[in-house]
Amino acid sequence: MRIGLIGYGRMGQAIERVATARGHEIVGALHRDASTIEREAVAQQADALIDFSHADAVPEHVNLALRAGKSLVIGTTGWDALRPDIERQVRAAQGSVLYAPNFSIAVQVFLRHAVNLAAQLLQLDGWDVAIEEIHHRGKADAPSGTARALATRLQQTLSLPREAAYPVPTDNRLPANQFAVGVLRLGSEFGTHRLLLDGPYDWVEITHRAKSRDGFAYGAVRAAEWLIGRTGFFSFQEVLNEILAHKEEH
Residue numbers annotated as active site: 135, 139
Angle between helices 105-121 and 145-157 (to 10 degrees): 30
DSSP letter for each residue of the chain:
-EEEEE--SHHHHHHHHHHHHTT-EEEEEE-TT--HHHHHHHHHH-SEEEE-S-GGGHHHHHHHHHHHT-EEEE---S-GGGHHHHHHHHHHTT-EEEE-S---HHHHHHHHHHHHHHHHHTTSTT-EEEEEEEE-TT--SSS-HHHHHHHHHHHHH-SS--EEESSPPSSSPPPTTEEEEEEEE-TT---EEEEEEE-SS-EEEEEEE-S-SHHHHHHHHHHHHHHTT--EEEEHHHHHHHHHHSPPP-
